[in-house]
Structures are given as structure tokens and as C-alpha cells.
Chains A and B, each alone.
Chain A
Amino acid sequence: MRLTSLGLVRGLIGYFVGLVIGMAVVVAGRLLLGMEAWNPEAVWVGGIIFALMGFLLGIGAMSDWITWTRGGDTPLRHGPPEGKPAWTRYFGVDYNHKVIGIQYGVTGFILLLVGGSFALVFRTELADTGISFLQPGTYNTFLSMHGWVALAAILLGIGGLANYLVPLMIGAEDMAFPRLNAFAYWINVPAAITLLLSMLFGWDSGWTAYPPLSLRGPVGYQFMFLAIFIVGLSSILGSLNIIVTMLMMRPKGMTLFRMPIFCWAILATSLIQLTATQLIGQAFLMLSFERSLGMPFFNPLYNAAGENIGGQPLLFQNLFWFYSHPAVYVFVLPGLGVISELLPVFSRKPLFGYRWVALSSLAIALVGFLVWGHHMFTSGYQPYLRVVFMISTLLVAVPTGVKFFSWLGTLWGGRLTFPTPMLFTLGAISVFLIGGLSGPILATAATDLFLHDTYFVVGHFHATIFGGFVFPFFAAIYFWYPKITGRMYNETLGKLHFWLMTPGFWLMSLAQMTTGTMGMRRRIADYDPALGVQNIQFLVTVAGFIIAFSILIMIYNLFTSAEIGAVAGNNPWRSRSPEWQIPSPVPEHSYAKPISVVGEPYDYGLAGSTYIAMAGAGDD
């Protein structure tokens, strides 16, 4: 087998060929216009744009569309590519949603490891006062990269969950637009490469990229802006696909209120992604234009009379947070959906208050659009706005509370068992509770004026993201692992992973909050010994390494169990959900016959009830 028969290899070649061509085109254009040949901003931006195109052409993510423009016919191919081993389909364009789901999930997991490793680098620096091995410039780059790489990882992880599970859960053959689905995944790969390449030049503003700082730094910013723009484009296309699939392709009898609850979470998430992502794309594009073309959107410029004829820095903050706060709900709603999905299975009870849980996701999504200004309490906007955003932010507590109480109602009176996915679900609840309850203290503006930009916020944010995404994501991986691979993971190693990671995380976030109340600012390369936080900072670092070590155990478990794990069977968890009624691993065409819904999804304990019926032979 030739190496270039792998789509990914062709894509990478295309990327670097495109990069060179793009840079050459810009240099040539500049020379023709009589300008100086080398201008890093313009030349690199041109290179990146061509590199992205080069990757997509190289891998063939647009081949079918190009064939269509010529009037050609492109039947959907099923199964692994002809004459090649089955694994190769994961390294090229494939239209099966299960393959794309795995591609999303694995890429997300890899980026999560990269982003987490960046954190370990600067956590090591912070273990003691004084600058020991990481110079402040490098420190700022690692810190900033940690933010965006981890957030891109989360978006991809969510794409993995949604792509793999939603069509299976609603009994659909595939997503509504399989080619768009593959395209939306593959643009993430060159975007991730571009984001990582930004480290060659560095950038130092943190993930928020507030101007004017982000207009001044090195050209690494341009790599980051364009990479995030593309990741955002993927969010928009992916969520469009999911919404159409969910609304148009459900089987007979599956009303919206009879969907598995995870689908509701994904529906709410996709609505946010489809409508809010444009704002950050636009904001980052404006930064890119301001840097490379000198368009004054954000940086103030003064005329001779001292009047500002330029831009307004706060405009960026509004645009940025109008996406980036709802984005936090994009990060956590799918995870909360996983919690709601798994609890009934391991409690052997119906989900308590299904409709309330379903609608609370939509409520969180809607209120989430009204709270962006709580990131700007100290920004210098009109003081009365603090009151408006304080009240809207506190309102988020109401639908979030409904979820917590409904989870407790689900556990109450059940027959609980505690395999690894259930442990991670319970761990997620405990961690998300820490994150959630430390929210209102930041919502009331007075306390936020003190806590803003301190480690208290760092602790709060990581607790919501770990509780709302990382723990549920791991729960989901362990839970659906037998469905994906056909084999069980190792339960002992799974429990070891849980019992290292969970206390490690509690320690980490509480210690971060402590240093915040003691006056430790965010995003600083070194801190004053007079603050008296060295010991606590050391604890945070140790806890970070414990979490990292536990994740290595998980990776080992997942790899070895795929070979030697016990054969799982169709439905090891005795779940009622459709995907567990078909063979593991799921065959190429998931459902041999169309399914129909004949009952409620979570009627555990109701004698004689079933959720779905498979059409038998001959009764179509």
C-alpha cells in the first residue's frame, strides 16, 4: 500500500504545497504592485488560506461537489475503500456518520491531550515562585494555546458524540447531508495544524484575544484567528446538519418528546452553534483585517484635535462574548445530556421529569444569549448594564437547578449499580455542582469586581468544563465503548482512573479558588511570594499531574481492551435505547429494517413496555 493512498497524507502534502503557493502568490502580487516583497502579515495570511484549500483538495473533501459541477454522478460509497485495509477509512474522507463520529472523537481526544499538556508545562512553572524555565513570552504563548486548543478539542469531542450517537438514537441511516458532514469534520484538521503552527511565532493575549493587545503581537495571531474561524465554520455546518437530521429523519412514532434525552441536549447545543458562532468568526476576521489591512475597527486613532476617529476596544468584547458565553453552554449541554441519558440506565428507573429536563436545555440555551455582558463588569461600559447582566445571569441558575433536582429524583428509589460510566456520571454531577455553585458569586457584580480575572474564575471555569464536558465525555466513552468496539473495557483500570481523577480534580479547582480569593491574578507568568500562595499553587500542580496520569491509564485501557476485552454482546447495560438493540460493533448499515417507536424511552421498571419495535421480516 502506498502512503499517498491515505487521504490524510495527501491532505498534509496539499497543505504545505498550498502554503508555499499562497505565500508566493502574495509576494508576487506585492512585487507587481511595487510594494516591498516581504510583509509577514500579508504573506503568511495568503499562505494559510491557500494551505487550507490545499488540504481539502488533497484529501478530496470536495471531490463529489466538484464532480457535480461537471454534471457527474457520485453514488454514496459504503464500507471500507476497495482493496485497502479497513482501518484506512478513518484516515480519509468517508461518509458514514459512525466513521466521522470516531474521527471527530479521536481528533478531539488528541487535541485534549495536547491542550492539557500545555497546561502541565506552565503548571510546572507555577509550582514555585520565581521564573525557573519558562520565560514570560513563552509562558503567555503556552497559556493562550492551552485555551484555544482545549476549546477546539471540546468542540470536536461534542461533534464526535453528536455524529456517532444522534443518527443511531433516532434510528436514521445516516446524517441528512453525509458529504457536508465529512467536509465539516475535515476542515478541522488543517485548522488544528494552523493553530499549532501559531506557536512558531507565538501570541500572548490568552484565548480572549482582546485588542489592542492582539493587534500588536507577533504574526502567530493570524494563524490563530484563521484557525478559529475555520473551526467555527465547522461548528455552523455541523450543527445545521444535526438539526436537519433530528427534525426530518426520526422514525414513525418518535415525537420530539420521545427522543432519547441526549438528542434534546444536542438540539439545544446545535441551535446555539448555528446562531452564535458567526459572531466570533466575524470578530476574529475583523482583528485579522485590522492587522493585515489596517482597517480601524477596534484600535482608537486620534486626529489632530484629539478626537477618536478610529475604533472602540469594547466593541470586540461584545462581539466576542456574544458567542463565547453561549459557547460555554455548547461545551456543557451535551455533557449534561450524557448524564441524563446514563442515570436512568444505571438506576433502572425512568428519567425524572423528562419534559422538564428536555426543556431546561432549551431554556439554558436561550437565557445563555442574554448574559454575555457579565464578562465585562469591570470593562468600563455603562454602569447600569451591570445590573441587567447580573439579573439575566442569575436566571441561568433556575433551569440548571431543574436538571440537578431531576437527576436526584432519578436516583431516588432506584437499583443503583456503579460500573465506570456511572462513576464518571456521578463524578460529573459533583464537579459540575462545584462549577455551578461558584457561578452566582461571580454573577453578582459586586463580588465579581473583586474576583474577576483571579484564579477563582479559573477554578470556576474548569469545574464547569470538567463537570459539564470532560467527566461526561469520559463516561460516554466508557459507556459506548462496547457498542463501538464490541468489547468491554477493563473495569478495574476504569475505576482506578476514576478514583485518581475525581479527587485530583476536586483538589485542583478548590485550591485554584483559594488562591483567587487570596489575590492571585489569572494569566501571570510569576507571582509574588508575599501573597502566600506557593504551597497551594504547588498542590494545584500536583493535582494537575494526577489528572494527567489517570488519563494515561484510560488510554492504555481503551487500547488494550479493544484486543483482549471480553466480548460485550449487543446490550451489556440492558439499555432501552435503539442503538443497544442492534449488534456490537454496529454494522455498516446500522438498522437492517426501519424502526418504529411504540413506547416511552425511559420506562425502566414498567412491566411489558418497550421503546422501539424493529420491523420484522415481511411486515413493512
Chain B
Amino acid sequence: MLKLPQTSTDRRHFIIVGVLTLVTTVVLGFFMLAILPIKAQKSVQAEPIAWLFQVHIWLIAFLFSLVVVFMLYSLVVFRRRKNDDSEGEHFEGNTALEIIWTVVPLVLVVIFSFIGIQTLNGATSGGDEVQVKATGFQWSWKFDYPNGVTSAEMVLPVGKPALISLESQDVIHSFWVAEWGPKQDLVPGMTTTLHITPDTEGEFKLRCAELCGLSHWSMLATVRVVPEAEYTAWMDQKLAEQNVQTASR
């Protein structure tokens, strides 16, 4: 059995805690990645989000381990033994330590601000080769394309940068396709925009992410990401349908 050092400033305490912290960090990091599966994976804008999320997870794993290992170690090693009525060691603080644990987090803040700006640029920029206007109203969605096509589902060609402009007819809504990553509110009286470059084909759900009243939970629309040829065909078909309707009026 390991004989623990007697004084609290003995270097061996810190070696043990340091090793335990590193081990816990690795275990906790993988555990958290497993229980926090981030869904933003299927657009160009989602990539920096998912990447930054993982960076955070590892930082959280380290800081959590640091505090919890130090705490649990103290609880075990520095607990009061039976029949020990003495007081704890008398030290009131350590200015050098306080400065270190003020400055190191400050440096981390600077680093994360820098990474934060980079990833924010990645998550919010893109082209406008495809343009769609999405209109939200209690409790449904409508999509208008520049060529006059109107649809209840949103169809986008895969790999093409899309600029989605957002308008609300009544209250605040929020445009969110979880797989694509970022969300953007729709504010009455304003036009907001969202850049999305979908990079995976498939059918997704657009869900309103801002509480908008009675049926907020069911304010959904279908979003399809399809090959370009299929997109063009869908657009032609929609145009033809609408022309027939207009002509028959």
C-alpha cells in the first residue's frame, strides 16, 4: 500500500493528482464524445461547428478532471481521522498561484476568442448560387424561388452554396435544420439571412426553434437535398404545374 505524504505541500501529492487528472481527462473526453453526439454534420457550415464542439469537449474534459480529481483527492487524503481534533494547516492563500490561475484562463480566453472568430466566419459565410426565400407563419413554412416557384417543401441541389433569406409574417420563428448546423431567427419587420451549402443528399426536417405559440412543436417542413439534375427537373415540373394553374384561372 502506497504511503501517502504527510504535509500538503509535498510534491508527491501533486504528481499523483497530475497523473490521475490526465487519465481522467482521456476517459472523460471519450465518454463525453459518446454521450454528446453532435448532429451538425451535413453541410459545409456545419463542419467548423462540429470541429469546435470537439475542441470544447476536450477542454471541458481536462478542466472537469482537474477540479474533480483535486477535490476527490482532498476529500480522501485530507479527511479528518478518528480522534483527530486538530485544525487544518494554516495558510491563507498564495498570490503567485492566484495570478497563475487568473492569467492562464485569460490566455485561454484569447485563444478561444480567436478560434471562435475563425469558426464563426466558417459557419456563417457562403455563396448565393441558389437563392430561396423562406417565410414562416404560425405554424407552417413557405418557400419562394426567384423564378416564381412556390413550394411547401424546400429542395436544394447538393454541393451548391445557398442563400436563404428569412421573413416572418407574424411572430418570431427560427429556421433550423439540425443536420446543417446553424439556425437563424425570423423577425417580423426584418429580413434575415442564412448561408447553407448542403454537402449530403437526403431528406431532412426543418423545425422552428423559437417558441411561437400553440403549435410551435409541430411547425415543421420537409427539406430535400438532391443531385443537381434532379433539382432542375423538380424546378421545371413545379414551373409547369404553376403555369397550368395560372392559365386555367
Q: Which A positions have Cβ atoms within 8 angstroms of B?
A: 136-137, 140, 204-206, 210-213, 216-217, 299-300, 308, 310, 312-314, 347-356, 378-380, 383, 386-387, 390-391, 394-395, 397-398, 401-402, 404-406, 408-409, 411-418, 426, 429-430, 433-434, 437-438, 440-441, 443-447, 449-450, 452-454, 510, 513-514, 517-519, 521-528, 530, 600, 602-606
Residues on B lying within 8 angstroms of A by beta carbon are 7-9, 35-40, 46, 48-49, 52-53, 56, 59-60, 63-64, 67-68, 70-71, 74-75, 78-80, 84, 86-95, 97-98, 101-102, 105-106, 108-109, 112-113, 115-117, 119-120, 122-124, 170-172, 174, 176, 178, 181-185, 187-190, 192, 205, 207-218, 220
Contacts of B216 in A (CB 8 A): 136, 140, 523-525
21 A/B residue pairs, CB under 8 Å, sorted by A: A136-B214, A213-B171, A216-B170, A348-B86, A351-B92, A353-B94, A355-B93, A380-B185, A386-B120, A394-B116, A404-B67, A406-B98, A411-B71, A429-B71, A433-B68, A444-B52, A444-B112, A452-B183, A510-B35, A513-B36, A528-B205
Cross-interface CB contact of A449 among B113, B183, B218, cutoff 8 Å: B183
Whole-angstrom distance between the alpha carbons of A528 and B218 in the complex? 9
Q: List chain B residues, Cβ under 8 A from A510.
A: 35
In Å, the complex CA distance between A416 and B86 comes to 11
Once A398-B105, A453-B183 are accepted as A-B contacts, the answer to whether A433 and B120 lie under 8 Å apart by CB is no
Q: Are A387 and B49 in contact (CB under 8 A)?
A: no
Is A446 in contact with B105, judged by CB distance below 8 angstroms?
no
Q: Which A residues are in CB contact (< 8 Å) with B35?
A: 510, 514
Question: Which residues of the other chain, B, contact A356 by a CB distance below 8 angstroms?
Answer: 93, 98, 102
Min C-beta distance of B136 to chain A, whole Å: 12
Q: What residues of B have a CB within 8 angstroms of the CB of A350 in the complex?
A: 90-93
Residues of A within 8 A of B70 (CB): 408, 411-412
Taking a contact as CB atoms closer than 8 A, the residue among A314, A352, A517 that contacts B92 in the complex is: A352
Smallest CB-CB separation from A299: which chain B residue?
B188
Complex CA distance for A452 and B178, rounded to whole angstroms:
11
From B8, B60, B209, A521 is in contact (CB under 8 Å) with B209
Can you name the residue of chain B whose Cβ is closest to the Cβ of A528?
B205
Tell me the bound Cα distance from A111 to B71 in angstroms. Answer: 33
Give the nearest-CB partner of A131 in chain B: B217
Indicate if the CB atoms of B215 and A136 lie closer than 8 Å. yes
Bound Cα distance from A145 to B178, whole angstroms: 28
* A430 to chain B: closest residue by CB: B68
Min C-beta distance of B50 to chain A, whole Å: 8
Knowing A378-B183, A450-B182 are in contact, say whether A441-B38 is a contact too (CB < 8 A).
Answer: no
Contact status A440-B56, CB under 8 Å = yes
Query: Known contacts A397-B105, A513-B36; is A452 also within 8 Å of B209 by CB?
Result: yes
CB-nearest residue of chain A relative to B103? A398
B87 touches A605 (CB 8 A): yes
Q: Would you give the shortest CB distance from A555 to chain B, in whole angstroms?
A: 28
Known contacts being A300-B189, A444-B52, A445-B120, is A402 close to B102, with CB within 8 Å?
A: yes
A376 → chain B closest CB, angstroms: 9
In the complex, which of the residues A217, A300, A414 has the most CB atoms of chain B within 10 Å of its own CB atom? A414
Distance from B102 Cβ to chain A, minimum over Cβ atoms (Å): 6
Contacts of A397 in B (CB 8 A): 105, 108-109
Q: Known A402-B101, A409-B94, A606-B90; judge A383-B124 contact (CB<8 A).
A: yes
Question: Quick one: which of A136, A443, A450 has the most chain B CB within 10 A?
Answer: A450
Inter-chain residue pair count (beta carbon < 8 A): 285
**Closest 3 pairs (CB-CB, A-B):** A413-B8, A300-B189, A349-B88
Other-chain contact of B105, A353, A401, A449, A513 (Cβ < 8 Å): A401
Find chain B residues with CB under 8 A from A523 CB.
211, 216
Q: Are A314 and B187 in contact (CB under 8 A)?
A: yes
A127 CB to nearest B CB, Å = 15
User: Once the chains bind, are A216 and B171 in contact (CB under 8 Å)?
Assistant: yes
The answer for the CA separation of A354 and B94 in the assembled complex, in Å, is: 10
Check A313 against B60 for contact (C-beta < 8 Å): no
Please measure, in the bound complex, the distance between the C-alpha atom of A575 and the C-alpha atom of B231, giving whole angstroms: 74
Complexed CA–CA distance, A530 and B216 (Å): 18
Chain B residue with Cβ nearest A208? B211
* Residues in B neighbouring A205, C-beta threshold 8 A: 211, 213
Instruction: Evaluate contact between B120 and A348: CB separation under 8 angstroms.
Output: no
Distance of A416 Cα from B70 Cα, bound (Å): 14
Q: A136-B216, A350-B93, A521-B209 are in contact. List 18 more A-B contacts (CB 8 A).
A: A213-B211, A217-B213, A300-B188, A353-B95, A390-B120, A391-B109, A398-B109, A408-B71, A411-B74, A413-B7, A417-B79, A433-B64, A433-B68, A445-B120, A447-B119, A450-B40, A519-B39, A526-B218
Instruction: Flag if B49 contacts A398 (CB, 8 Å).
Output: no
Assembled-state Cα–Cα distance A414/B59 (Å): 29
What is the bound-complex CA distance between A213 and B216, given in angstroms? 11
Task: Check A444–B75 contact: CB distance below 8 A.
Answer: no
For A310, the chain B residues whose CB sits under 8 A away are 189
Given contacts A380-B184, A417-B80, contact A411 B53 (CB under 8 A): no
Cross-chain contact A518 with B189 (CB below 8 angstroms): no
Nearest CB in chain A: distance from B11 CB, A: 14
CA A300 – CA B106 in complex, angstroms? 42
Cβ of B200 to closest chain A Cβ, rounded Å? 15
A130 and B119 alpha carbons, distance in the complex (Å): 37
Docked Cα-Cα span, A200 to B116, in Å, equals 46
CB contacts (< 8 Å) of B119 on chain A: these are 444, 446-447
Query: Complex Cα distance A205/B216, Å?
Result: 10
Q: Which residues of B contact A513 (CB under 8 A)?
A: 36
Q: Is the CB of B67 within 8 A of A409?
A: no
Q: Known A213-B172, A449-B181; judge A412-B211 contact (CB<8 A).
A: no
